[in-house]
Amino acid sequence: MNNKTSSFLWNLRHLNLNICSFGSTSFRRTMKVDPLELHKPKLIYQNKTLKIFLFHDSLQKPQSSVRFFCQGALVFQLKGNEIQKRSLNTLTSTSVGKLSHCRRQSFDSQCFLMMHTTPQIDVDGLKKIEVSAEHDLSQKEKQLDFVRQRDLIQQCNSMSDVLDLFSKFPKLSSCNYFISMWKIAKNMSEDQRRFERQLLYEHPAFNQLCYQVMKDAKIVRLQQLMFTLYALIRIGIPQNTYLIHVLLRVVQERINECDETCLSVLSRTLEIMEENKNVDALRAGLRLLVDKQIWTLEHILTLQTMMRCIGKNAPYSLKKKIEIKALKELDKFSYINSQRMFGALAAMNHRSVTLLNECSKMVAANIPGCPFWMLMNMLQSCKDLHYQNLDFFTAIADYITTTFDMWKMKQVLGILFLFEALRFRHIDLMNLFLKKVLDESQFLNQKDILCILHIYSSLNHFHECKDQQFLEVMTSALNSYLPKLSSLNLLSAVYCFCVLKHFPEEFLNQLFQENIINELLMSDNESEKIEYMLHQVNACLELEDISALKSTAIPLKECSSASLHSNTLVENILLNILEDKGLFLKNVQLPHNYFVDFELKMDSRRTQVFPVSEADAFIADSDILRVALVCVPRNAFCFGSTHPRGGLQMKMRHLKALGFHVILVRR
């Protein structure tokens, strides 16, 4: 808009009304005044001559042809030779004749009018100015509507109240109604939200509002449309409804209009939506848009939101580009950004060790005060990404240990469960938790007991003083659930007890009932795992010092030795040292489905190596030391230590029972 026109409108807006007489030709101008002063005045021209005259004058470059300066609150009108005043309701100007020269007429010190001759202007120019002025006034009306709607919605206490408001004011922005509903609903409980949603569906104005939203979808600002779609999904409107599909299609059509805020909101929306054709198409479009705009993103939170949305199936090139972008912005990372990066990387299944290491350092340095759910999320992400960081895990475990009394038992159990999945054994934390279990065993349910047994047996953790007491308490606590245990849970519990070198008779007798064994062997789920655990339990009964229970062992077929590994590197080292292939055997199969990678025979002082053959592999000789070299993978040990995990520890016990001296070689 022309600067002079803008100045003219501004002066009109602040005019407190003036009436002047200029000649015989009359015209009237009326200005509506908002009594609450909530918005700018709206001009209504009752005579087109005045409109053209005013806009003609507004275009004169050297100076404005008409200027009003008013500071009072009264309306002045000239009648005869006297100036009369009235209230500020409307403004009426009397006639103005043709002007032959410039003159100034002053009515008092508070209000005066200056006029000059009017330049000529073409009709097209006038039309453009009129349209521009009308557009400006339209924007002011929209601002007023928004303020009114915001003030009215703030008084609503439920989603039904918002619909009642829509019934009274259907012409206000339809999108804002649903956005406001979500602002109300997000503070409700799930049950209350479900009840409110049912009232929403039954409200007579609901269908009308949905129709209005679909109608306005193509003309509202895209950012407003994105927030509306997000609000609808969070409120709980079913995704298979026509309303949701229409909005998804409109967003697809307008996706190229997205700015950073729109991308962030769209990513959050797609993240919580179920997969269907429209959602998949929109996610594919989002990936293309992210690939195009990745380098222009300014906010780390927006980047992380998009990482969670694009999914695990995104192209590797896009994942790598996002990783590079995140690494470039590392200096901008806050403590919260570092925490959220774990979940963002896990959501798109991209393991960036460099990025995770940097985030781990920042989180470990600021771990106090970190909420429990965030600790769980970070550890779960580490598990999903197969990422291990000893300093990071130790910082979390030290923090839990230091503040142990402020945590609930189930919270600590959740942390330990994830540590077990990550093969991390923190001795102090596990000892503290063991003592708490002894003190509060009556509060443990079946799931808790099985979980505790799994953690302590898997990590092969024993308390120096209270180990036997712990096993007895666990046995007693689980015994009350014995009749309710499924066959698989019963086998898992017995296996964990066997790893911990504890053999409760009541559980073993229950397990080896014919119907339970048949049920386990006929199971299609986890059949290999079941067969392995049964073999291990059988081996314990035959090799451990529990003669009273040996008769309960059941015959099982031997598993195939297809899992044997070829350890060429170790074999070459043995050849270099011994210089004779006949001094060792490789891949020796033993009873109870055990095997060793290499077997040697040495004297009791370990100074001499004797030749060995398969024929005398099982011949015992008190003067001969049988040495078993067992090559084990890295995950057979607890992370960051040489402490063997439960399965390896039990194998070492059984090999010793078979007469071997065991030497572990890390593969």
Average pLDDT, the chain: 79
Q: Indicate the helix (H) or strand (E) that contains 344.
A: helix 335-347
Torsion of CA 377, 382, 384, 388, to 10 degrees: -160
Cα 305 → chain centroid: 7
Q: Residue 322 carries which DSSP code?
A: H
- What per-residue confidence (pLDDT) applies to 555? 65
**What SS3 state is found at 199?**
helix
Rounded to an integer, what distance in angstroms lies between the CA atom of residue 37 and that of residue 233? 38
Q: Where are the beta strands (DSSP E) in 532-620?
A: 584-590, 594-603, 609-610
Which residue type is seen at 249?
R
- What per-residue confidence (pLDDT) applies to 502? 92
pLDDT at 438 over 60: yes
For the chain, what are the domain ranges? 3-138, 568-666
Q: What is the mean pLDDT of residues 243-253?
A: 94
Q: What is the mean pLDDT of residues 3-27?
A: 47
> Of 185-194, 196-205, 409-418, 543-552, which has the strongest mean pLDDT?
409-418
Q: Which of 300, 307, 232, 237 is nearest to 267 (CA)?
A: 307
Q: Among 493-497, 566-570, 633-637, name the one with the lowest average pLDDT.
A: 566-570
Task: Specify the long-range contacts of residues 255-260, CB closer than 8 Å, at least 24 apart.
Answer: 255/282, 255/285, 255/286, 255/289, 256/289, 257/222, 258/222, 258/289, 259/223, 260/293, 260/296, 260/297, 260/298, 260/299, 260/302
pLDDT at 540 over 60: yes
- What per-residue confidence (pLDDT) applies to 250? 94
Q: Among 313-322, 562-571, 582-591, name the one with the lowest average pLDDT.
A: 562-571
Rounded to an integer, what distance in angstroms lies between the CA atom of residue 583 and that of residue 546? 36
Phi-psi region of 349 (alpha: psi -120 to 50; beta: other; left: phi over 0): left
**CA angle, residues 217, 220, 221, in degrees to nearest 5:** 125
pTM (2 decimals)?
0.74
Q: CA of 412: how far to CAs of 26, 262, 403, 443, 500, in Å?
A: 88, 39, 11, 14, 21
- What per-residue confidence (pLDDT) applies to 215? 92
Q: Give the confidence band of 39 by pLDDT, cuts at 50, 70, 90.
A: very low
Task: Render pLDDT for 383-431 as a digit per residue (tens, 0 to 9).
Answer: 999 999 999 999 999 999 999 999 999 999 999 999 999 999 999 999 9
Task: Render pLDDT for 457-491 as a digit per residue (tens, 0 to 9).
Answer: 999 998 877 888 999 999 999 999 998 999 999 99
